[in-house]
Chain A
């Protein structure tokens, strides 16, 4: 059973490339261009893990995470935030986030997959 992922990012190029990379590692990826599109998708789908960009116009990653966490139907969904402002060593993670983890956008996709797998197996 492949891991189902909802990938949310307003940067279309980044989103496409990341989706291809994750799929090549055996994941099932669905894409959303922003927070609103993600909320729409979540009404139809039930992913195992949401991988979401932190800084997006409109509904951003922090807010989306908050909405997911407040929805008890999505209680088992894992949430990974990606941010360009976070360093690979973990510095720059903003405080008070409700995500399971927050990673740098520079994180190599294989590491991202490892993280996704360990979270999905929990």
Chain B
């Protein structure tokens, strides 16, 4: 359980770390590609939901607006047929013919009668039929086609009985017609009663031409259904074949509701409404279906989708190009800056950044260069100040140490000028003057030696212990007075090639330093240990140790405060002398007391000098 709990975050962290390692350019590219993809998907969604729906709604309202036009087309047809029928039925010539029973049965007579109505009639109707009062068809003219197999028309009998013109749809001989049935009436003697001589029917076949004409006027496709098949439509034959399933579709019955419905035909959606084609008794004869394709909306969506896809491709390309350019503009100067920072870190203050960056990076590069220049200047100033400080310390030290002998000399001179001094005192004064001037001379020589670095070494094979013991002897008075115990633990067989006087001075300086550091008394230990071809000598005191702030600069001239030889050069001189002997002088890092240690090369070849005879 615990491992599971810890494993997952590790995996996540690893994944995050991997993302973190992706280069800036790729990160920029991924981010902008993600953003543009999201935006475009969102746009596609919005367009599909808003624009396409709006387009669909627009089509729907258009279709709804078509209903009156649709109705008026039918009414117009019906009116035209009715007028035609009425004109014929009311024509005296017609009445005469139908009044004469023999003439009414003579097809030739009737054909001539129809011909009298001229080309107008021929152009406007597809069917002319005549029935007797019982609805038996006595004549029909199907404009050159075969006759219908129907001999009886129930609707005609209704018209004959009601003596009123009627409009209806009918299938005659498998053909679908819009019919106008008009009774031909003959006024009998009395005013109230009229005889129905015949029923005159004019009809318009609901064929492809009608469908196309209607389609042209209502800007929709029109399909006539009859006897459970497509009778005619304004569609091209291929599309019509695709509509086959429409006949049985349950949506078609719903499409008779007030609002249009969506019907899928083949591969696209249509907005559909339909109306029944009724016979005189209100019975269903057929159906007219009006289809408005939603392909436009679909096409709009596809067009927009294509545009969006193009935009997406472009934006991805732009994102790639942009992130490459940005990355180049950012990372190039960055790399330069990193290089500059490294150079600066390693102490090169002269490395100029060659970044031609503009904007923030340019400012950064400029600021960096400014910083570099000011650092260089500061560094130079620091060095100068350091030199000045050294000079200042040196001057202070020299002034301090020369004032004592100078004051001595001048006071002594003043006293010597007096007459009443005893000769013994006179001598003391003169001796003091001499000592003071000798001291000044000595100090100046030391200073000069140090600045020139010449120590006039005359190295000889020496026993180390002997040199150290002499140095201890030199400081014994000061040590005794201060209460400091000096312990020496150096083997007598350690031989070095050294200038005894100078090396003794090194130990004198170190010992004096140690003693002065312990005004309340303590211990100084001097111990030596062989290390390969070298000897390491430690001078360890039990004093307060070296203050941290001067630890690093301890061996610089005039830093250590004291009166070593009077010049503040004690440790600096000791180090110079040690180095002149091919050794080193360092301060060991300790927590208590101070541990100065020096290493010197051992002189192991040649005859051994007897330390006892030298001591």
Contact = CB atoms under 8 A, between A and B. Distances in A.
Interface size grouping (class) on chain B? 20 to 34
A37 B407 contact: no
A57 B436 contact: no
Given A14-B436, A105-B404, A105-B407, A58 B414 contact: no
B408 A11 contact: yes
Contacts of B425: 20
Given A20-B425, A58-B519, A105-B407, A10 B418 contact: no
B433 interface: yes
Chain B binding surface SS class:
helix
B396 A17 contact: no
B400 A85 contact: yes
Contacts of A59: 482, 519
Nearest to A37: B481
Contacts of B433: 13, 17
B399 A84 contact: yes
B43 to A, nearest CB: 79
Contacts, number: 86
A10 B481 CA distance: 13
Contacts of A10: 563
Nearest to B400: A84
Interface in A15-46: 16-18, 20-21, 24, 34-37
Contacts of A106: 403, 406-407
Interface string B409-420: 001101100100
Given A37-B481, A84-B403, A20 B516 contact: no
Contacts of A84: 399-401, 403-404, 407
B512 interface: yes
Contacts of B401: 84
A58 B563 CA distance: 10
B421 interface: yes
A20 B429 contact: yes
Interface in B484-525: 512, 515-516, 519
Given A17-B415, A84-B399, A56 B482 contact: no
A55 interface: yes
A17 B399 contact: no
Contact of A13 (B403, B435, B482): B435
B583 interface: no
Nearest to A35: B519
A16 to B, nearest CB: 5
Contacts of B481: 34, 36-37, 58
A58 B478 contact: yes
Given A24-B415, A58-B482, A105-B404, A12 B512 contact: no
Nearest to B512: A57
A24 B436 contact: no
B421 A24 contact: yes
A60 B403 CA distance: 18
Nearest to A12: B435
Contacts of B478: 57-58
- Which of A10, A13, A105 gathers most chain B CB within 10 Å? A13
11 contacts: A11-B404, A16-B428, A17-B428, A24-B415, A37-B481, A57-B562, A58-B481, A58-B516, A84-B401, A106-B406, A109-B414
The 10 closest A-B pairs by CB, nearest first: A13-B432, A84-B403, A13-B435, A84-B400, A14-B408, A17-B412, A13-B436, A13-B408, A57-B516, A58-B482
Interface of B: 396, 399-401, 403-408, 411-412, 414-415, 418, 421, 425, 428-429, 431-433, 435-436, 439, 478, 481-482, 512, 515-516, 519, 562-563
